[in-house]
Structure 1
């Protein structure tokens, strides 16, 4: 019997996860199908029961349900509890098991695509769900400092104060971060600023950068954001959001199937959907 997997969210029509996972199922000869499910707000519990009734083996969760789903699960991975969000669910023997692969997926993309000091100084732009996933994952790697800057200083300070290790972490305003920008080895952009169609916007002005550094942006449409362009002009090594998207999907696929998938193949599938250059 064909296994059912999927992604739930609202909106969901833009998702390219179905193309990525269905290609993997075909490649590995797995009799399964991955389908996008639009879930109306307020109907999450009914949607999950519907997926269980259909015999689903697992699913991804995207906005706006990553936090709302937690009380509906039978077990949640400790990292996902720290983050306060679940993006991957495994259904095993009728139980719903929740994970968050966003942070580990981002870390994997950094390790694959950037060369950095063993203990870097890090600045995260943004204090939303993606920032939380990245913050709680990276603080376990023992950076020298991992500061948070955000349009709302209160939110930046709130997230920095939730550190579970003894890593130094400060909440900064955007202006403070711009003034201290040369203190960091790695700057991570986690907001939607610069995403299509508003591609000319900058979340933070990197004009003061004048030292070796790396920059990451979790956005992958456009393929290179204005923020990354400006960082590259100042000599920075850059990485976009394709790697995070691919690796979080790879970790979910491995949880569901026990197979560690070909991430290069996944990347090519994503780039084809984005109309980018295949590498």
Structure 2
């Protein structure tokens, strides 16, 4: 991987999302540029679906390193790129676009970022003491695709996909159909999930985002989980979602998505610059009282 020289002219990176003003990503990446001693900037830009192709085309400018892609564009952007990394191709969703010499490559740092966050939180059960049990993924969009990949491929666990629109859950699970594989992804309605066998629940939906009373899962199902189970909510605003509150009320450990946000940002920054900035730089930036986006 090529590492940028500090003498490199100012370079630009972006977030394309709708909405975008709430994003904490500018804090993190500006701190990373400063830590690495690079002249760079990161801007969060609201991009409507109808304007996505034009925005992506602009990433081919010589002064642009790439962009992060967030809701609702993670799947739609795939068709606008020149190439995909193996992970992005397998997941079918992109959260990071890398610009090199006029070509755009789509990557997905959500899945390894989630994995790293789960390890950091002690929720992955990797290493010498593997955690048994299945994983429930709530949602069926681009973030859910990354969560299924992380659970099925990186954690090597069986996965149940639960989504408000069940047909989308079936489509996501079918994309991973491999009858001879050791672990399987299956679509289920919540009532049919064997909750006693589940040790990790990942909310990969937008339920609860800026809506403290919204939840993707009835609290009754949380009470059926073993007390060793962990609930990981990718939502990071509010810091404690209703899903997290109800999980803790049921005696379960619950974590929000700030760890994943920082880990995926670290990996994205590394793909753009070649610099492996410590995740603590990204986390510390999140704790800094300043404007979240400019």
- Structure 2 length normalisation: TM-score? 0.85
Which gives a bigger RCO, structure 1 or 2 (Cα 8 Å, sep 6+)? 2
**Equivalent residue in structure 1 for 2:119, among 111, 118, 131:** 111
How far apart in 2 are the matches of 1:141 and 1:50? Answer: 34
CA contact (8 A) 1:212 1:235 kept: no
Q: CA deviation at 1:153?
A: 2.2
CA distance in 1, matches of 2:215, 2:18: 26
User: Residues of 2 paired with 1:164 and 1:46: CA distance?
Assistant: 35
Q: How does 1:216-231 map to 2 (within 5 A)?
A: 216-231=232-247
Q: CA RMSD of the aligned region, Å?
A: 2.1
Structure 1 range deviating more: 98-107 or 36-45: 36-45
Would you say the 8 A contact 2:151–2:158 is kept in 1? no
How many corresponding residue pairs?
272
Distance in structure 1 (CA, Å) of the matches to 2:155 and 2:26? 35
Cα distance change, pair 217–42 in 1 and its aligned pair in 2 (3 A): same
Q: Partner residue of 2:208?
A: 194
Q: 2:231 aligns with which of 211, 215, 236?
A: 215
CA–CA separation in structure 1 for the residues paired with 2:105 and 2:226: 46
Q: Does 1:148 align with 2:165?
A: no
Q: TM-score, normalised by structure 1?
A: 0.89
The verdict on how the C-alpha distance between 1:79 and 1:38 changes in structure 2, with shifts beyond 3 A counting, is same
**Which region of structure 1 is more displaced relative to structure 2, 23-32 or 242-251?**
23-32
Name structure 1 gaps, 5 residues minimum: none
Give the alignment partner of residue 274 of structure 2, picking from 246, 258, 265.
258
Q: Which of these residues, 10, 17, 25, is aligned with residue 18 of structure 2?
A: 10
1:106-139 deviations in Å (ceiling 9; x for gaps): 1110011124334442111222221111102321
Instruction: Determine the C-alpha separation between the residues in 2 that align with 1:164 and 1:250.
Output: 31
Pick from 183, 189, 198: which aligns with 1:184?
198
Residues 1:64 and 2:91 aligned together? no
Instruction: Show CA shifts across 1:170-221 (max 9, x none).
Output: 21112223xx32221111112222222x212332121333532111110111
Q: State which of 229, 234, 246 in structure 1 corresponds to 2:262.
A: 246
Matched residue, 2:40: 32
Residue 59 of structure 2: aligned partner? 51
- CA separation of 1:106/1:14 partners in 2, compared to 1, >3 Å: closer, same or farther? same
User: How far off is 1:271 after superposition?
Assistant: 3.0
Query: Is 2:284 aligned against 1:268?
Result: yes
